[in-house]
Chains A and B, each alone.
Chain A
Amino acid sequence: MDATQTKDIYTEEFLINMGPQHPSTHGVLSLELTLDGETIVECTPHIGYLHRSMEKIAENRTYTQFIPFTDRLDYVASMNNNLGYVMVVEKLLKLEISERAKYIRVIIAELNRIASHLIAIGTFAQDLGAFATPLFYCFREREKIVEIFDQLCGNRLTYNYMRIGGVLTDFSRDIEEKIKKFIKYMRPKVDDYDWLLTYNAIFLARSKHIGVLSKEMAVNYSITGPNLRASGVKWDLRKDEPYLAYDKFEFDVPVGKNGDAWDRYKVRIEEIRQSLRIIEQAIEALPQGDVAVKVGRIHKPSPSETYFRTENPRGELGFYIVSDDSVYPYRLKIRSPSFSNLAVLPELVRGLKVADIVCVLGSFDILMGEIDR
């Protein structure tokens, strides 16, 4: 067939649905892809399959009753969600918590950040075709963290550990020892991932220069968390707007260069190392004292508006509460990081091949529970 003949062949764009039942869309996300051969022309994400109307539920629950619901937002990092919510209520009530509770919260939040990043790394590797081995290695390490949480609060996924005015239970000697052991255990494991994945030729070929997110674009789309830092913007709420006791610890904010899928992965690996540093310092300097301020279970704040944001493993998690003269919030708005992170996806995958969309989506580490709420 020569060139003149191929001109006459009529071709048209092809539309396929990826998801909602697709193993690599990280939940029930549906992507409507318009393809020109193997190249993506247009990508439209459809969300809402996991909508549970959390914000409306919050209007009919007391401030304490809503804590278990925050577990179900970002279910991989429940502790961080608990933390974000109780922090905003404490700000609303102008409540000061004890020094020990602050340190415990930092340790717990960082442990859960590691657990969340481990899942992100494992599933990203699996999306790229490194089947099972890295994922199972990551789950093996995560299991240690989950065991600590299980012993601490009695559950393995939806912890419901943070309380308005402190935390549920104090660290026992056993748990402190376990955390110290975990730091020693985890350090060489992160180096293992470097050997196994980070500089692997196939892994680099699949993820380098794929889905490049420029600095300007990241800021314009209000991308936050490791995805923003991978694009070269040094913005971490723990450093720039310190809450709890984060200003007392020494840690670096890892930043990427190109903003491609590999950078987003690498930033997460580095963040695990930094989190371990924070936990090590916090557990050494753990002050004595009470873990919870004695407040009632029913709170009745004066009418006001409050917003507070914390650094979640996926980005900035913000809670906005409007309170009126009742025991229920008048309105609760959740600013979830994954929602913004997903919004930039159609821009990034335009012109890429179908196989790369899985790579870009995996590198963003989105979670549908948080997007649909």
Chain B
Amino acid sequence: MIKLAKNFVVGTWSLIKGLAVTIKYFFRPTVTLQYPTEKQPMSECYRGLVGLRPEKCIVCYQCVKICPTACLAITHKQEDKKKTLETFKYNMELCCFCGLCQQVCPTSAIIMTNIYEISVYDRKKLDINLLDMKKYDEWTNTTIK
């Protein structure tokens, strides 16, 4: 009987203690975001989808060499000593968003965009031709730095 009474008192006291904490935060402003309608701004250096500034690319193949998952593929044309970019394929399916390609690029031709809502219905859409960046308009938040 004494044990039961003791349990009752201890249980009630810890209930009050717990409620005190939750009530304290009940009157504070909310910290949650209503996601699809409200969106958190990504940081400046956020690593979203890979983007390209084709005019800056010098076809040095550094990004292809460093990519741990081999998601980038380049072909080029050789005219005398000058290399020009022919295709620049980016397989989003393999990309792990590590940002190594952006860090090794000597001319900052490769950039990481702020796009993070990247689900698609068609698997073919995961294979992206980076020379045609208009495709990125399909996704929201297409701010390219």
Contact = CB atoms under 8 A, between A and B. Distances in A.
A196 interface: yes
Contacts of A202: 11, 14
B46 A68 contact: no
B73 to A, nearest CB: 17
Contacts of B43: 147, 150-151, 154
A199 B100 CA distance: 47
Contact of B14 (A137, A143, A201, A297): A201
Given A192-B21, A199-B14, A155 B66 contact: no
A150 B14 contact: no
Contact of A297 (B13, B44, B66, B98): B66
Given A61-B68, A158-B96, A200 B45 contact: no
Which of A65, A140, A147, A203 gathers most chain B CB within 10 Å?
A65
Contact of A160 (B15, B17, B21, B99): B99
Interface of B: 7, 10-11, 13-15, 17-18, 20-22, 25, 31, 42-47, 66-68, 96-100, 103-104, 112
Contacts of A151: 43-45
A328 interface: no
Given A64-B66, A150-B46, A199-B14, A158 B98 contact: yes
Interface string A132-152: 010001001001000100110
A166 to B, nearest CB: 13
A67 B67 CA distance: 11
Contacts of B100: 64-65, 68, 160
A308 interface: no
11 contacts: A68-B98, A69-B68, A137-B25, A151-B43, A153-B99, A155-B47, A160-B100, A168-B103, A196-B18, A201-B15, A202-B11
Nearest to B68: A65
B17 to A, nearest CB: 5
8 tightest A-B contacts by CB?
A68-B98, A154-B45, A65-B68, A154-B47, A201-B14, A200-B14, A201-B11, A160-B98
A172 to B, nearest CB: 11
A189 to B, nearest CB: 10
A17 to B, nearest CB: 32
A155 B22 CA distance: 31
Interface string A63-82: 01111110100000000000
Contacts, number: 72
A10 interface: no
Q: Interface extent on A, as a size class? A: 20 to 34
A195 B18 CA distance: 6
Given A68-B96, A133-B22, A154-B46, A297 B17 contact: no
B94 to A, nearest CB: 12
A196 B13 CA distance: 11
A182 to B, nearest CB: 14
A168 to B, nearest CB: 8
Contacts of B104: 297
Nearest to B22: A133
Contacts of A71: 98
Contacts of A67: 98
Given A150-B43, A160-B98, A297-B104, A200 B17 contact: yes
Nearest to B7: A201
